């Protein structure tokens, strides 16, 4: 009988320690999940790809409005691009950085000209990448091309944002 009690006692102590080990492992798992969520927020794209329907809601409802009427809540850049376009691939990560930098001040939208060519045609886009700068008041401004370097391209975007989109 004593032997059975001793085995039961040893088993219960071992079980208790195993559960405590799982609790600390559980805390470690929670911490890892929290860190992963934080990293996901950091790496979440700040640029927003629009299709034709979303474009009508967030930029211009061209089926209803015959003149320019911006539908957005913040000034915006619309990047007209295509996946096969080399300069577009160079501009994409730079625009992502710009979107992160100016988050809450402007929107950076992307329109795939292969999927929605009518949107590009509506704005007279003949070469890509092309960028439509949309201030809250007034008419939008179109610009195309990128700089020779990443720094030059980033400076080009910042200047347009400050001069066109965020000017007082």
Residues with a known catalytic role: 85, 88
Q: Give the CA-trace dihedral at 61, 63, 65, 71, to 10 degrees.
A: -10
Residue 48 near residue 77, CB atoms below 8 Å? no
Residue 113 near residue 81, CB atoms below 8 Å? yes
The strand pair at 130-134 and 107-112 is best described as unpaired
Secondary structure tally for the chain: helices H, strands E? 5, 5
- Please list the residues that pair with 112 across neighbouring strands: 81
Residue 128 near residue 143, CB atoms below 8 Å? no
């Amino acid at each position: 009988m004593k032997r059975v009690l001793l085995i039961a006692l040893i088993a219960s102590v071992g079980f208790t320690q195993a559960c405590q080990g799982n609790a600390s492992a559980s805390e470690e798992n929670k911490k890892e999940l929290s860190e992963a969520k934080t990293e996901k927020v950091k790496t979440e794209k700040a640029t927003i790809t629009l299709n034709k329907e979303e474009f009508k809601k967030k930029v211009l409802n061209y089926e209803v409005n015959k003149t320019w009427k911006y539908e957005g809540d913040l000034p915006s850049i619309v990047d007209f691009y295509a996946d096969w376009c080399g300069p577009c691939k160079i501009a994409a990560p730079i625009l992502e950085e710009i979107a992160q930098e100016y988050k809450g001040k402007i929107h950076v939208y992307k329109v795939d000209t292969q999927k929605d060519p009518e949107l590009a045609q509506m704005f007279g886009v003949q070469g890509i990448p092309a960028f439509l700068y949309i201030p809250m008041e007034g008419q939008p401004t179109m610009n195309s091309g990128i700089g020779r370097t990443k720094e030059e391209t980033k400076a080009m975007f910042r200047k347009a944002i400050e001069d066109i989109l965020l000017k007082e």
